[in-house]
Amino acid sequence: MSPTDPPVPPSRGGGTPSPVLSVRGLRKSFGDVEVLRGIDLDVVPGEVVALIGASGSGKTTFLRSLNGLEVPTGGSVTPRDGRPIDFDRAVPKRELLRLRDQSAMVFQQFNLFPHLTVLQNVTEGPVRVQRRPAAEVREEALALLDRVGLRDRADAYPVELSGGQQQRVGIVRALALRPDLLLFDEPTSALDPELVGDVLSVMRQLAEEGWTMIVVTHELDFARRVASEVVFLDGGVVVERGRPDEVLTRPTHPRTQRFLRRLLDPLDD
């Protein structure tokens, strides 16, 4: 691979791949409120996990616990290096960096850096943090922007872009870090409906290329067509999980059934 090629996900390879992430009994409380009440999850390379659930179900908090934006209050998370981080005792800050550094995140509100150009938004992490050569990072960033149709906006500032364009920059910013794991926090929820498709199609491409992704989403159609596993959260626990056609088409748990019915037909009830 030449240095200017865009990053490619780690190959799925043969045999049983070691998980990118293993979560056991994860708990999180804010004061007296327990938001996560013991969640397990295993993610192997190339897998796309869709986290669905009503607002307040804990899905976003769960996602943010996987890169240290939230510090869980119990349970454990094992990153790719295989050494578990045990949240039942006090966890030093640098332990959390092992989680942060293997993943990258795409935010609901994009959270692009408004004072930097599109290109600078993408190169900031690889150059300033990962200390990779600026010229190489720049080429790679331009190639990635090209893939999402934004190469000609490289020198624009975020404020000059539409929401859909901003979110595609957000995705490119995450990819440029060459993470083992991509975390998406409701990436299309803040977009006008006609802009959602562009972002979802980029995400679908990534999934097809074998990127490992965890996606908090309300886009059931996306989950059905792209996810390898759908996890339904309610009240801080996993109520139902499985292949998309199972969970989304023939849910067995009444709470899943109710949630899906409401999502598909909001006026019904």
Partner 1 sequence: MQSSLDLFLRSFWPIASGALVGTIPLALASFAIGLVIALVVALMRLSEQRLLRGLARLYISVIRGTPLLVQLFIVFYGLPSIGVKIDPWPSAIIAFSLNVGGYAAEVIRASILSVPKGQWEAAHTVGMSRGLALRRIVLPQAARVSVPPLSNTFISLVKDTSLASVILVTELFRQARQIATVSSEFMLLYLEAALIYWLICLVLSAGQDALEKRLDRHVAH
- Positions that interact with partner 1 (CB under 8 A): 67-69, 100-101, 103-105, 107, 109, 111-115, 124-125, 128-130, 157-159, 173-174, 177
User: From the CB of 113, what's the least distance to partner 1, in Å?
Assistant: 6
User: From the CB of 224, what's the least distance to partner 1, in Å?
Assistant: 28
The number of beta carbons lying within 10 Å of the beta carbon of residue 72 is: 27
Quick one: 6 or 125, whose CB is closer to partner 1?
125
Quick one: 11 or 109, whose CB is closer to partner 1?
109
Q: What gap in Å lies between CA 210 and CA 181, rounded to an integer?
A: 11
Quick one: 178 or 241, whose CB is closer to partner 1?
178
172 touches 141 (CB < 8 A): yes
Quick one: 57 or 103, whose CB is closer to partner 1?
103
Quick one: 191 or 239, whose CB is closer to partner 1?
191
Token pair 């994860």 is at which residue? 26
Token pair 């059934």 is at which residue? 257
User: From the CB of 117, what's the least distance to partner 1, in Å?
Assistant: 9
Quick one: 165 or 256, whose CB is closer to partner 1?
165
10 touches 61 (CB < 8 A): no
77 touches 23 (CB < 8 A): yes
Q: Which residues of 146-174 are buried (b: 16+ CB within 10 A; e: fewer)?
A: ebbebeebbeebbeebebbbbbbbbbbbb
User: From the CB of 220, what's the least distance to partner 1, in Å?
Assistant: 26
- CB-based contacts of 221, cutoff 8 Å, min separation 6: none
Strands (E), the chain: 21-30, 33-43, 48-52, 74-78, 85-86, 103-106, 181-185, 213-216, 229-234, 237-242
User: From the CB of 30, what's the least distance to partner 1, in Å?
Assistant: 15
User: From the CB of 109, what's the least distance to partner 1, in Å?
Assistant: 6
Quick one: 109 or 201, whose CB is closer to partner 1?
109
Which structure tokens are listed for 258? 């109710």
User: From the CB of 100, what's the least distance to partner 1, in Å?
Assistant: 7
